[in-house]
Amino acid sequence: MKKLVLSAALLLALSASFTSCREEDKKDAENAMENTGDAIENAAEETEEAVEGGFEATGKAIDDAVNETEEAGESIKDAVNEATDDDNN
């Protein structure tokens, strides 16, 4: 995210430094700055969505791991009970 913002700022600075002061160029520079701003906003929104998706996937993976651990614990308990029942008979 930091690299994206810095790259966008660099592009904005370069576009502003290579334009002259004529009216047409000012409009082009304004359009370029507006487009750069839009690109930054879009990238930020996409990054936010990706992060949210990552958090959701991580939470699901943790829940699955907890469930599997509980199931493994129950299986071990059952195996121990069966082994001790066999020894008592």
What pTM, to 2 d.p., does this model score? 0.42
- The dihedral over CA atoms of 80, 82, 87, 89, expressed in degrees to the nearest 10, equals 160
- Whole-number Å distance between alpha carbons of 66 and 58: 12
Q: Tell me what pLDDT residue 43 has.
A: 87
Q: Tell me what pLDDT residue 8 has.
A: 76
Q: Note whether 29 and 15 are within 8 A (CB).
A: yes
CB atoms within 10 A of CB 12: 18
Residue 22 pLDDT exceeds 60: no
Structure confidence at residue 69 as a pLDDT band (50, 70, 90): very high
CA distances from 60 to 28, 54, 57, 67, 80 (A): 48, 10, 5, 11, 30
